[in-house]
Each structure stands twice: as structure tokens, then as C-alpha cells.
Amino acid sequence: MGSPAAPSTPMADAPVPATPAAPQPTALQLFLIFSRIGLTSFGGGLSGWLLREFVRDRAWVGEEEFLNGLSLSQALPGVNVTNMAIWIGHRLLGFRGAAAGVAGIVGPAAVLIVGISAGFAALSRFPATHWALDGAAAAAIGLSASMGITTALRVPRRWLPLAIMAGTFVAIGPLHQPLVYVVLGVGLGSIALEYARLRRG
């Protein structure tokens, strides 16, 4: 009799090929993406475009991570969307990404704004110019509302975050308190309360 055949190796023991990692963007890609967003967005709608581009379409940043970065960008001094460009760029490519993000979101749009302002000065006497601006404002409001709804859906359904959100609205809106003091007071207070909650947990 011949020697018995060697036992077959189970499929589970076979090496599993590694799943290739998603390709990281280059600095040029980031510059072009931020340039396109800056040139085609209206006012407060920039955050909505950033969410769609980097989270939903390309999945380079997680949604919760993006919203955390947005909260940080809104709390820091400066223009929110510029802060977001720095944050996203640095998150993806470090210093090179941050520089590409700022250059893309600011540079091309600034050149376009200079040209538009010169054209608007010449065309402001025509009613169609004001109709176009009204349409742009409506688009900006819609994009900002979309971003706000997305963020609100992610707010934890606990009484403390909701109370902080309502208190901030009342302090800035009906009571007309200075924004800087409200952000410093409520922001630092909410961070301290959340830190204490996590320590207890």
C-alpha cells in the first residue's frame, strides 16, 4: 500500500490576502478639492460641501470625527471654514495638507471675489443682479440648514447637552450677551462637565 495522503490543510489556515488600504490624497488633490469647494459654494454652505466631499463621497474622514472637528473650528478664533480646511488637511497629510487646504480654500476664491466685486459695481443698477444675489443667499441658507440638521441629529439625547444648547441660544439671541463671553463660559463649562462625566463613567 502506498503511504497515506497528507491531510488537507483547512481553508481557515490559508493566509488571507491583506485588503489594500484606501489611497491617501496628495497635496495637489487637496488643493484642487478645496479650490473647487471655495469657488462653487455660497456663504455658510461651505461646511455642508466639506461634509459631503470628505465624509460621504470619499470617506477620508469619519462623520463623527468631522463633526468634532467642526465644533473645534467654530470654537476657535478665525473663519470657520478656514479652520476646517486646516483641520482636515492636517488630519490627512499633516503640515502639507494644512497648507494645501488653506491655499485652496482662500486663494482662488479671493481672486474670484475681486473680479466679482468689480463687476458688481458696474452691474448693481440692474434688478437682475439683486435677484441673483437673493438666489445665492437662499442656496446658502439651505446648505447651512442641512449642516445644522445633520449636526443636531448627532447631539446626544441627554438633558445636559440639550440644556447647554438651549442656554447658548437664549444668551446670544434674546439676551444679546457678548459672543466671546458666552463661548468662553459655556464652552469651558461644558467641556469640564463632560470631562467629569467621563471620569465618573
Residue 87: the pLDDT is: 94
When pLDDT is averaged across residues 138-158 and rounded to a whole number, the result is 73
- Please state the separation of Cα 28 from the chain's center in Å: 19
Task: Report which secondary-structure segment, H or E, holds 116.
Answer: helix 80-123
Lowest-confidence range among 60-69, 116-125, 158-167?
116-125
Q: Which of 1-5, 26-30, 137-141 has the lowest mean pLDDT?
A: 1-5
SS3 content of the chain, % helix, strand, coil (to 5): 75, 0, 25
**Grid cell digits, residue 56:** 460621504
Distance CA 165, CA 149 (A): 14
Where residue 155 falls among pLDDT bands split at 50, 70, 90?
A: low
The pair phi, psi for residue 167, each rounded to 5°, is -65, -40
Other Cβ atoms closer than 10 A to 8: 7
C-alpha cell at 103: 491655499
Q: 142 falls in which pLDDT band (50, 70, 90)?
A: confident
Tally the residues of the chain.
201
In angstroms, the CA 40 to CA 198 distance is: 41
**Cell numbers standing for residue 163:** 440644556
* Domain boundaries along the sequence of the chain: 25-154, 156-201
Residue 42 has a pLDDT of 63
pLDDT digits (tens, 9 = 90+) for 61-111: 988 889 888 888 887 887 888 999 999 999 999 999 999 999 999 999 889
Average pLDDT, the chain: 79
CA quadruple 30, 36, 39, 45: dihedral positive or negative?
negative
pLDDT of residue 14: 43
Q: Cβ(116)–Cβ(39) under 8 Å?
A: no
